[in-house]
Structure 1
Amino acid sequence: MTSFDTSLSFFGVAILLGLAPGPDNVFVLMQSALRGRRAGLWVVLGLCTGLIVHTLAVAVGLAAVFAASARAFTVLKTVGAVYLVWLAWQAFTAPVDNGTDGTPPDLGGRAMFGRGVLMNLTNPKVVIFFLAFLPQFVEPEAGAVGLQLVWLGGLFIAATLLTFGAIAWFAATLGQWLRRSPTAQRGLNRVAGVVFLGLASRLAMAER
């Protein structure tokens, strides 16, 4: 098993990566601001479920096969970009509730969980990142490489839960305050739409 010192170092790096601006944590921030804390936390759980899939793919070697396939990369990033454009359209056309008390529209935990899973799994850069990042902390003398990769992936998921959960918590508080004003609601929806379009453009132009 990976040593304690290496595991601790890896966890610290994973925390920093979780806090660094990126597509997934920006996605969590906007969904939490728009839909509330509960919705944001469901999105976080969905993203982490996607990370489980990526971890297992790296552990059994599927990630290397995927990384070598230009067609698979293109298909995944196209699906992801189209999905983000659809979310942008939803944000731009969302109705404004006059006289609201700041309570967000509830889409249900299953729907928000699915958004997180889909967002993560349709981003081919994640699996390539895992393929490049996790093996750097593997210790050949510490036992089975596959088990070490699963352990490191689990630590990364724990760090993601911690950092993304905090982002969801605080973004939801800000969003609740903004939703009390119809003007602020409209502005928040437009900002969300622009952010989703930006993420879609970034993903569509991504290269291996």
Structure 2
Amino acid sequence: MYGVINYEVFLITGILLNLIPGADTMYIVGRSIAQGRNAGVYSVLGICSGSLIHTLLVAFGLSIILTKSLILFNIIKIVGVIYLVYLGIKMLLDKTNLSLDSSGSNKQNKRKIYIQGLLTSLTNPKVALFFIAFLPQFIDTKTTGPIPFIILGLTFTFTGLVWCLFIAYFSSFISQKIRGSERMGTYLNKITGIIFIGMGLKLLQTKSPQ
């Protein structure tokens, strides 16, 4: 099928991989618990948009640069670490109770959360390296062009979208009553900040494939 081989195996494997918690999952859970369902959904859209961009970069051969350039790899990694730690510290210092569900006029906050989710995905070199290592295993070596990569990338992103939306809805549901307390909402924001900082420190341990 358009240069794709063992598509069924890829689909099952992709679903299983999406079920494994990672930095993106923790970001979505943190946003959903601290700020509600809308924040979770917009973080999911941002993460999935990043996945689509990674797909296009791999499809057109640009992400392969990460495996060839140690300097570029480290730059992206450090930017990602700084960004995640910055978000974490910002939430730790924020004394307000942020809740997108409590107001219908928070377009700017929603846009900010979407962009943060997008940047969280784009500044994580592990995501790019995953696409580079995983997708080619299901592409016919005789096939040329970006189409097989795009098909597989879209499939993986779609299954990830479904799972991440479930996570966002479930996380916001179980914390809905807790967020009703302003003090508890502030605590949840700080917990989310700690999660972001932990994600940044974990990303710092990522090693170049060279």
TM-score, structure 2 as length reference: 0.87
User: Taking structure 1 as reference, are residues 104 and 15 closer, same or farther at Cα in structure 2, changes over 3 Å only?
Assistant: farther
Counterpart of 2:120 in structure 1 is: 119
On the 8 A contact 1:2/1:138 being kept in 2, the answer is no
CA distance in 1, matches of 2:127, 2:96: 35
CA distance in 1, matches of 2:55, 2:24: 16
Stretch deviating more after TM superposition (39-48 or 118-127): 39-48
Counterpart of 2:102 in structure 1 is: 103
In structure 1, runs of 5+ residues without a counterpart are none
On the 8 A contact 2:37/2:168 being kept in 1, the answer is yes
CA distance in 2, matches of 1:178, 1:16: 31
Deviation at 1:145, TM superposition (A): 4.9
SS in 1 for 2:207: coil
CA distance in 2, matches of 1:178, 1:113: 24
Counterpart of 1:194 in structure 2 is: 194
Counterpart of 2:147 in structure 1 is: 147
| CA distances 1:78-125 after superposition (whole Å, capped 9, x unpaired) | 11111111111122122255xx9x838945321111011100100011
The two structures, once aligned, show a CA RMSD in angstroms of 2.3
Counterpart of 2:54 in structure 1 is: 54
**Runs of 4+ in structure 1 over 4 Å off:** 2-5, 104-107
Question: 5 Å matches for 1:24-173?
Answer: 24-97=24-97, 103=102, 106=106, 108-140=109-141, 143-173=143-173
State the percentage of identical aligned residues: 33
Counterpart of 2:176 in structure 1 is: 176
TM-score, structure 1 as length reference: 0.88
On the 8 A contact 1:103/1:176 being kept in 2, the answer is no
On the 8 A contact 2:15/2:159 being kept in 1, the answer is yes
